[in-house]
Amino acid sequence: MVHEQLLIGGGVFGATLAAHLARRGGSTVLLEAGPALLGRASTINQARIHVGYHYPRSFLTGVRSRLNAPRFIEEYRECVVDDFAHYYAIGRAFSNVTASQFRRFCERIGAPITPAPSKAVKLFNPDLVEAVFQVPEATFDAVRLAQRLGRDLAAAGVDVRLGTAGRSVARRADGVLEVTLDNGEILAARQVFNCTYSRLNEVHAASGLPIVPLKHELTEMALVESPAVLQHAGVTVMCGPFFSMLPYPPRGLHTLSHVRYTPHRSWQDAEATYRPGNWPMAARPASHFPHMVRDAARFLPLMRDCRQVDSLWEIKTVLPRSEIDDSRPILFSRDHGLPGFHCVIGSKVDNAYDMLEHADRLSGAAVR
């Protein structure tokens, strides 16, 4: 049997795209190496639904988030958590933007912003914080999102195969693509989409296809019980080597992340140096929580009352050019080394809508 489309990777991107393509017609298969959908980076992250505030150095990323986030919130309302106040504080030193620049950026992209109430402002160290704003930014519950996308896939008739990895892809003489699975089985499809995020290049290397330049980081986000005053609040200090603390719905806790201390090590994929299996997940280093909370308390003294419960460890992957301006563009590489084979990578849930537009252009379908 020749399927119309086959997707490798059952995270947010793979699951969303599989359901979208199946609704347009044709047999669709989704492969996920893990035991459940959204089991890795789609769940093990800060869960922030970006509305644009986080990207004052990348106008395009801010605008795209501002346009896409309301659509995500409307479509997946049951997965959204927004019953908390979110404060953005601008650092006085080492920040890439001033308070006035941040405010103008928000106005340019149409993102609502107001001065934080005085009771919130008083929580911050005025020697290190120039201004504090309150913004309407939410998080998502990845467990609920996985359940919702599972229902969407079933309704669309997608053949979801959990515990099944796509290892390599090749093209037959008739133009059909064949994907070899980890159990040796071979599936045929007219189009194949590689949506495996940090493991994108493993499929490429095994198939003799070009390596996509990517930067990876072994990251730690501490799961904490927040100070009582911030139990129903999120805090982000912008825009430099600072920290964020946001509600993490699946655990009823907060994530504490830090630009300097969340990454433990980094490496890059490149044609000349790529080596498969270079994953440091087995031997985790000592937690950076003491460093995170000590530095965070300089800006917000009551952070000293945070109690670490656990840590979330995952590989974060970005395009190297994003290091320059903190942008988060989507990568959609069409016909990547083989006609009909496409690879996709993004770093935010709202990026999925940009991905769907690219996919629709492949067949000339109307973009909603």
The answer to whether 353 and 221 are in contact (CB under 8 A) is no
pLDDT band per the 50, 70, 90 thresholds, residue 322: low
Residue 367 has pLDDT above 60, yes or no: no
> Is it true that the peptide bond before 239 is cis, omega within 30 degrees of 0?
yes
Residue 197, C-beta contacts closer than 8 angstroms, at least 6 positions apart? 9, 11, 13, 40, 41, 317, 345
List of residues 6+ apart from 19 with CB closer than 8 A:
149, 152, 153, 155, 156, 158
Contacts of 241 (CB under 8 A, 6+ apart): 94, 258, 259, 260
Q: Distance (Å, rounded) from C-alpha 120 to C-alpha 100? A: 19
Provide the token pair at 187.
């599936």
Other beta carbons within 10 angstroms of residue 226's beta carbon come to 23
For the chain, state the CA radius of gyration.
21
Model confidence band, residue 61 (pLDDT cutoffs 50, 70, 90): confident
Residue 275 DSSP one-character state:
-
Q: Which positions ≥6 away from 360 have C-beta within 8 Å?
A: 366, 367
Check whether 366 has a pLDDT greater than 50: no
| 335 pLDDT more than 50 | yes
pLDDT of residue 280: 61
**pLDDT level of residue 328 (50, 70, 90 thresholds):** low
Q: Is the pLDDT of residue 270 over 90?
A: no
What pLDDT does residue 341 have? 98
**pLDDT tens, residue by residue, 191-244:** 999 999 999 999 999 999 999 999 999 999 999 999 999 999 999 999 999 999
Residue 59 contacts residue 110 (beta carbons within 8 Å): no
What pLDDT sits at residue 274?
Answer: 77
**pLDDT of the residue at 282:** 60
State residue 198's pLDDT score.
92
Quickly list DSSP for 102-125.
Answer: HHHHHHHHT---EEPPHHHHTTS-
Q: What are phi and psi of 32, to 5 degrees?
A: -135, 120
Average pLDDT, rounded, for the chain: 92
> Residue 113 — pLDDT band, cuts 50, 70, 90?
very high
pLDDT number for residue 272: 76
* 140 strand-pairing partners: 80
pLDDT of 134 over the 70 cut? yes
| Nearest partner of 77 among 13, 148, 173, judged by Cα | 148
User: Which residues are paired to 224 by β-bridges?
Assistant: 254, 308
List own/partner pairs for 110-119 with CB under 8 A and 24 or more apart: 110/66, 111/51, 111/52, 111/53, 111/62, 111/66, 111/135, 112/136, 113/53, 113/88, 116/87
Token digits of residue 228: 């009582």
pLDDT band for 365, please (50, 70, 90 cuts): very low
Query: Which helix (H) or strand (E) covers residue 155, if one does?
Result: helix 142-156
Distances 221 to 45, 75, 231, 256, 308 between C-alpha atoms, Å? 8, 28, 17, 6, 10
Per residue in 277-316, pLDDT tens?
Answer: 656 666 778 999 999 999 999 999 999 999 999 999 999 9
% of the chain residues with pLDDT over 90: 82
From residue 224, alpha-carbon distances to 82, 152, 191, 247, 314 in Å are 19, 33, 43, 10, 17
- If pLDDT is split at 50, 70 and 90, which confidence band does 368 have? very low
| pLDDT tens profile 2-53 | 999 999 999 999 999 999 999 999 999 999 999 999 999 999 999 999 999 9
